[in-house]
Amino acid sequence: MARILEAPHARDDNRLGDGQASDNVSRVSDQPEQMRVYDVVGSDFFVDLVDAFYEGVETDEVLRPMYPADLDGAKARLAMFLVQYWGGPTTYSDNRGHPRLRMRHAPFVVNEASRDAWLRHMSAALAGTTERRGTPEIVVETIAEYFANTAEFLRNSEG
């Protein structure tokens, strides 16, 4: 099996270092000589992961107020984003444009408590999903590292 590519670093917007706008979205699949996480797990993995994640969010007193009453849209967007990020179809960007994670999360207070709650639910969802599916450990580690880094990256408030 080819080496599984590590996650590209999350970016907060579409600006290059010189301030110029760019439509270039870094994706794992931009590196064709390497095995993509998506190639190993497929779309259904991310749908299951997102469903498991939102089961935790539904009852979380820190995170639930950040979401609309109907979670279906949020679920669909997160699943599309993860599929694209890990090398699958570009449906997310085709429908919503560049991910711009920081911009999309700016309206919400993302402090240590919300970061930790998000990461706790996502880590539990990842553990359960990967255990049920027998996902290779290198994939689990790669995705877990991405989630930990991204959760911290999106923090926009102290406390």
**Residue 4 forms beta bridges with which residues?**
35
Domains, the chain, ordered by start: 38-153 (1.10.490.10)
pLDDT of amino acid 37:
97
3-state SS, one letter per residue, for 35-64: ECHHHHHHHHHHHHHHHHHHHHHCCCCCCH
Distance (Å, rounded) from C-alpha 153 to C-alpha 159?
Answer: 15
Q: In whole angstroms, what separates CA 118 from the centre of its chain?
A: 11
- pLDDT at 4 > cutoff 70: no
pLDDT of amino acid 159:
73
Start-to-end Cα distance in the chain:
43
CA-wise closest residue to 140 among 151, 125, 156: 125
Q: What is the DSSP letter of 21?
A: B
Distance (Å, rounded) from C-alpha 21 to C-alpha 6?
Answer: 25
Which residue has better confidence, 28 or 84? 84
pLDDT of amino acid 129:
98
pLDDT digits (tens, 9 = 90+) for 83-134: 999 999 999 999 999 999 999 999 999 999 999 999 999 999 999 999 999 9
- pLDDT at 5 > cutoff 80: no
Backbone angles phi, psi at 127, to 5 degrees: -60, -45
- pLDDT at 30 > cutoff 80: no
Q: What is the DSSP string of 72-94?
A: HHHHHHHHHHHHHHTTS--HHHH
